[in-house]
């Protein structure tokens, strides 16, 4: 997966998450950010990684997000791995 596509998926996942109250509120609580901060930093790699990491916390969220975005569920962790780069590789 190309990095550009991974970034687009992260931004699309953020849009999905903002429309899912339970997921959105959990993200705001876990990140300590408010909606304005999230919006302002949406194009930043750190925010994109945080969004995908949050969605990946729950299998139901992954399935719902993927269905809403019209992608396969496994594309979300693939995008997260691309955005994490070498730091996100797990060899165990």
CB 47 within 8 A of CB 13: no
Report the number of distinct structural domains present in the chain. 1
Within a domain: 54: yes
Q: Based on the number of CB atoms within 10 Å of its own CB, is 81 exposed (0-12), middle (13-18) or buried (19 or more)?
A: middle
Is the pLDDT at 24 greater than 90? The verdict is yes
Please tell me the pTM assigned to this model.
Answer: 0.87
Domain of 75, in residue numbers: 3-85
Within a domain: 90: no
Within a domain: 70: yes
Within a domain: 91: no
Tell me the average pLDDT of the chain. 91
Q: Packing angle between helix 3-18 and helix 21-31, nearest 10 degrees?
A: 110
Within a domain: 39: yes
Distances (CA, A) of 55 to 6, 30, 34, 44: 14, 12, 17, 17
Could you tell me the two tokens for 48?
A: 């994109």
């Amino acid at each position: 997966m190309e990095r550009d596509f991974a970034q687009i998926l992260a931004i699309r996942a953020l849009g999905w998450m903002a429309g899912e109250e339970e997921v959105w509120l959990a993200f705001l609580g876990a990140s300590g950010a408010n909606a304005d901060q999230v919006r302002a930093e949406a194009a930043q790699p750190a925010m994109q990684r945080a969004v995908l990491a949050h969605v990946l916390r729950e299998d139901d969220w992954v399935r719902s997000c993927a269905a809403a975005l019209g992608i396969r569920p496994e594309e979300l962790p693939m995008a997260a791995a691309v955005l994490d780069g070498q730091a996100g590789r797990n060899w165990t």
